[in-house]
Amino acid sequence: MSAQTQWQTPGEGHELEAGAFGPTPSVTGSLQEIGGRPTTYWNDAIRRIRHNKLAVAGLWIISFLLVVAVIGPMLSPYSYEQQDLNNTYQSPTLQHPFGTDQLGRDQLTRVMYGSRISLAVGIVCAALNFIIGVTYGGIAAYFGGKVDEIMMRIVDILYGIPTLIIVILLTVLFKDKGVNPLVNVFIAIGLTYWLPMARIVRGEILSLKEREFALAAKTIGAPNSRILFRHLIPNAMGAIIVTVTLEIPSAIFTEAFLSYIGLGVSAPVASWGSLASDGTEAIRSFPYLVVFPALAISLTMFAFNFLGDGLRDALDPRLRQ
């Protein structure tokens, strides 16, 4: 409502009446009723996410996977490495719902065990993204000038190098140094996957640090670290969460890819990538061996991408339509 219409509303022909000079009736109550309950950024986001069926489905799938990863292998009567050479290459049955592999190991247990590895990779990737990417991008943007120039030039150069090639190279070298293959995958992912996060956080902080609340914090003498970590970064949390959610499936993919080409976990440990790789070898005769790990990994990536897409729609105000 513009100021002009407000002035014109009381009388039709602008005639002054005695009643027009009385005290203004209190309207706060009714105004609040019209406006509905006050909402916050996060309440708003949660409401939007709930309406996005695919995102909710993604969240359910991820929760299910977490439960399976934690308790699945414990409930199984078999262990992931327990061989049964009398029952190799069994088709799916009640005893072995996903069948057994070339050494008679229960495929369901191995796929459930694989979910532990994939989710661990996802969690580690997310944590490293938070620790390295957010801090790096935040510091570059907050201090600006030469610091920003140098830090971002480094990111630009690293960006120019294809991630997967670097990851492969690092994994080859670490693996031969005798580092635990899984740790090795963590290191390789940790060293490379924080780059997009650093860029996004930098972009957010660059605009946030010009806002009044940042100035206010500075005026009352808050130290730089407090302004950055308590004021600026929490305000960039929407973009950070979206980026993390979308980085997780690509980290999970990378681990599976590395295991698939023989650089990830080594036998008898089962990862979805190595299971799919073993299954591919026997694809002509025993296709079910590759189908279940393939479904598991696709479903997981699906779920994270659905959730990430939904979160982006819910949290990123620039994309609202």
Partner 1 sequence: MLKYFIRRLLSMILVVLIVASATFFLMRFLPSGPFSREKALPAAVVKNLEARYHMDQPLWKQYLSYIGNLLHGDLGPSFKYKNRTVNSIIADGFPVSATLGAVAVALAVLIGIPLGIWGALRQNGWQDNFVMFLALLGVSVPNFIMAVLLMLVFALGLHLVPAAGWGSVKQVILPAFTLAGYPIAFIARLVRSSMLEVLRQEYITTARAKGLSERLVIFRHALRNILIPVVTVLGPLIAAVFTGSFVVEKIFAIPGLGRYYVTSINDRDYTTICGVTIFYSALLVFMNFLVDLTYAWLDPRIRYVERKVS
Contacts with partner 1, residue ranges (CB under 8 A) = 54, 148-149, 152, 156-157, 160-162, 164-165, 168-170, 172-173, 176-178, 249, 253, 256-257, 260-263, 273, 276-277, 279-280, 283-284, 287, 290-291, 294, 297-298, 301-302, 305-306, 309
Minimum distance, C-beta of residue 93 to partner 1, in the bound complex (Å): 21
- Least CB distance from residue 76 to partner 1, whole Å? 24
Alpha carbons 51 and 128: distance in angstroms, whole number: 31
Q: How far apart are CA 195 and CA 188, in angstroms?
A: 13
Q: Give the ranges where 89-180 is alpha helix by DSSP (H).
A: 107-128, 135-143, 145-160, 163-176
In whole angstroms, the minimum distance from the beta carbon of 183 to partner 1 comes to 17
- Both tokens of 64, joined, read 């299910």
Closest by CA position to 125, among listed 188, 205, 175: 188
Q: Shortest Cβ distance from residue 52 to partner 1 (Å)?
A: 12
Give 312's contacts (C-beta < 8 A, 6+ positions apart). 242, 246, 319
Instruction: Select 150 or 216, whichever has its Cβ closest to partner 1.
Output: 150
* Whether 174 contacts 188, CB under 8 Å: yes
What are the tokens at 61? 């799938």
Burial-class residue 219 by CB neighbours within 10 Å (0-12, 13-18, 19+).
exposed
Which tokens belong to 144?
A: 């600006």
- Shortest spacing between CB 273 and partner 1, in angstroms: 8
Shortest CB 310 distance to partner 1, Å: 11
Angle (CA) 28-19-11 rounded to 5° is 85
CB of 127 or CB of 283, closer to partner 1: 283
